[in-house]
Amino acid sequence: MSQHAPPADALGAGHVLRLDAVTKHYESPGGLVRALDGVSLALDGGSFTAVMGPSGSGKSTLLQCAAGLDSPSSGRVFVDGTEMSGGSEAQLTTFRRGRIGFVFQHFNLLPTLTVLQNTTLPVRLAGKRVNRAQAVETLNRVGLGDRLDHLPSQLSGGQQQRVAIARALVAGPRVVFADEPTGALDTRSAREVLALLQEAVRIDGRTLVMVTHDPVAAAHADQVLFLADGRLVGRLDRPTAVTVADTMTRLTDQVAADRRVSEGV
């Protein structure tokens, strides 16, 4: 984190999230893996962005780096004009807990904590006073106001993901990241989860970045970004399920053709 606030215009004032040439490399037995290869983007407040791409294209790495759960190998990430790197681990964690919510594919609830305790955990970890009324209100909104004392194991998958959404939203984050949040759910639960995420954008003005494989889910977003081999290779505004599916097919063919060229086949 920057110790001093840099000039706002240098950071693209108005952009709630900005990535500048972010790369992430992993050492693996087979050599260096370029999970992200120079990704730049800037998102306005109150926007809903879907991220799509083949398995292994870097979608999860992008979200982890943008959310401060992982650090880029190079490049910079700004949230609300404040750089999310350079500070200590503790500073980063405090910053992240205050401004960022994260929803995982497999919910990641703590099994021994109740619905209410799971929801307020990030607030408690941040050392802030828990506003019980606010947590209950958030759980009411996701339809779980009558399950406060249940354990995750007593809930369906869709209900567990709704707890995870309440947990992501309760501190009033600027940006919410969701990595395949409907990937483990049946169609009806998926629809409910999407509606709640969309409501967080349209009613509360949160900025949402969601990875999905589903063109119908992606069509809920304002724009879709397409990743391949760690790079942004396409973008679609005002997507529909049909235009998303068409673009995915076109890009998949294009990427395969490019690979054949680069491999000299």
Ligand X SMILES: Nc1ncnc2c1ncn2[C@@H]1O[C@H](COP(=O)(O)OP(=O)(O)O)[C@@H](O)[C@H]1O
CA distance 173 to 207: 9
Q: Residue 241, exposed/middle/buried by CB under 10 A (0-12, 13-18, 19+)?
A: middle
Q: Is 26 in the site for ligand X (CB under 6 A)?
A: yes
Instruction: Establish if 178 lies at the interface with ligand X (CB under 6 A).
Output: no
Q: Which is nearer to ligand X, 55 or 153 (CB)?
A: 55
Q: What is the residue whose two structure tokens read 């309760």?
A: 170
- Partner interacting with residue 156 (select from Mg ion, ligand X, none; CB below 5-8 Å by kind): none
d(CA 43, CA 25): 24
Cβ atoms of residues 206 and 184 within 8 Å: no
By a kind-dependent CB cut-off of 5 to 8 A, residue 57 interacts, out of Mg ion, ligand X, none, with: ligand X
How many Å apart are CA 29 and CA 67, to the nearest integer? 27
CB 115 within 8 A of CB 167: no
Q: How far is the CB of 53 from ligand X (least distance, A)?
A: 6
Residue of the chain from 45, 56, 87, 234 that contacts ligand X (CB under 6 A)? 56
Inter-CA distances, 47 with 8, 42, 43, 173, 175, Å: 20, 11, 7, 13, 10
What is the smallest separation between the CB atom of 210 and ligand X, expressed in angstroms? Answer: 13
Residue 60 in contact with Mg ion, rule: CB under 5 A: yes
Near ligand X by CB under 6 A, which window of 26-34, 96-104, 234-242, 250-258? 26-34
Q: Which is nearer to ligand X, 33 or 184 (CB)?
A: 33
Minimum Å gap between C-beta 52 and Mg ion is 11
**Contact between 247 and ligand X per CB under 6 A:** no
CB 122 within 8 Å of CB 31: no
Binding site for Mg ion (CB under 5 A): 59-60
Binding site for ligand X (CB under 6 A): 26, 28, 33, 35, 53, 55-61
